Every structure is written in structure tokens, then in C-alpha cells.
Amino acid sequence: MKSLAIEREYGSGGREIGISVAKKAGIPYYDTNLLVRAAKEYELNIGELQEYDEKKTDDLLWSILTTPLNAEDADRSELCKMRDGMKATIKKLAGEGPAVFIGRCSTEILIYHPDVVRTYIYSSSITKKLTEL
């Protein structure tokens, strides 16, 4: 069985679809809980991770994925550490077996993983308006 990595547009129901697929397949799904895992494993500030994650303009990792890395680990910004922690957590979990990954740039992080199906879920403007009500 393969894993599923979902990126989604606001109001598309992508989170609900991912959770439903995971439950029907009997595999774990990872969404906001990825933040907690990454924070614990890589000694990151969970408050800062949540702050970036809650911004509606961009996905957590998408906004920091291209942040340049400094040569020295001690000089790396917190954003780089958050990015690296999230990437490592997603890759580690993908290596443990089938799962559904919702958001957090999982489609890009797992782009070369042979056992991952990647998808993007979008919605119509009508669906978005109904979601906002």
C-alpha cells in the first residue's frame, strides 16, 4: 500500500478527504499533529510552529521552504530549523509505512519517495463561500 500526500486549497475539504481515506484504509494520518512531533523530536518551539502554521497566506513549509541555509548550524535561523524539523519528521514517518499526509508541503518533501501518491485538492468559488459561512 502507498502513502498519500495531499496539498489543498482553503475550503476544498482536503483535510476531511484525507482523514476519511486514512480511516477507511486503516492507516495513520498526519496533519497538525506533525507540528507537535517535529517540535518534540527536534526541540523546536511549538508556539512558533503554530504561529507560522496558522497564517492563511501560505502553508507552513511553503513559506519557509526556500529560506536560504547559512553555512554554520549555530547561525541558522529558527525558520530553517523549523523547516528542517518538519521535513525530517515527514520523511521519517513516510519511511515507517503507509500514511496520509495533509499539507505542510508533504507533496514536495515526498516528491521522490517511490511509495507516495501526491495530489492537490481544490474547490470552486461557491464551495469556498459556503465554507466561509
pLDDT at 56: 45
Question: Is residue 99 over pLDDT 70?
Answer: yes
**Contact between residue 107 and residue 9 where contact means Cβ atoms under 8 Å apart:** no
Question: Is residue 108 over pLDDT 80?
Answer: yes
- Cα angle 115, 120, 121 (rounded to 5 degrees) comes to 130
pLDDT at 81: 78
Question: Is residue 125 over pLDDT 70?
Answer: no
